């Protein structure tokens, strides 16, 4: 725990020191080897390292989840396209424009 020296803190600072001690106690932070008390600088250094590691892991997990979702979506699309195959007809390129339009009209009215 943070060792309190018998210092008269201003009223607002006493609340801050109490909150700091509660936070240190909640997280179970121990002082560095060879030191007697925990300083705010040490706490924030440890907190920064934790946040940095957490951010790195969060990004990695987000990428992995995104890749998995993309894979599932691609499988879904390929499944749908496999079910609905589109038939294509070769049009005679030597046929005239009128003939191609008649063929197109015939295929539309047949459907």
**Model confidence pLDDT, tens digit, residues 69-110:** 999 999 998 888 877 766 666 666 667 788 878 888 888 776
What was the pLDDT predicted at 55? 97
**Cα–Cα dist 59/52, whole Å:** 11
Rg (CA), the chain: 36
pLDDT at 14: 77
Sequence-ordered strand ranges (E) for the chain? none
pLDDT for the residue numbered 102: 84
Give me the residue spans of the domains in the chain: 1-38, 40-110
Q: Which tokens in the block code for residue 4?
A: 């309190």
86 vs 11 pLDDT, higher one? 11
How much is the pTM? 0.51
99 Cβ neighbours under 8 A, 6+ residues apart: 92
* pLDDT(42) > 70: yes
């Amino acid at each position: 725990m943070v060792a309190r020296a018998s210092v008269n803190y201003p009223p607002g600072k006493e609340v801050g020191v109490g909150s700091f001690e509660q936070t240190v106690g909640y997280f179970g932070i121990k002082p560095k080897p060879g030191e007697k008390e925990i300083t705010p600088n040490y706490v924030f250094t440890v907190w920064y390292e934790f946040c940095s590691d957490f951010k790195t892991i969060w990004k990695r997990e987000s990428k992995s989840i995104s890749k998995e979702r993309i894979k599932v979506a691609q499988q879904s699309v390929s499944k749908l396209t496999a079910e609905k195959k589109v038939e294509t007809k070769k049009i005679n390129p030597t046929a005239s424009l009128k003939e191609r339009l008649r063929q197109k009209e015939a295929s539309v009215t047949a459907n």
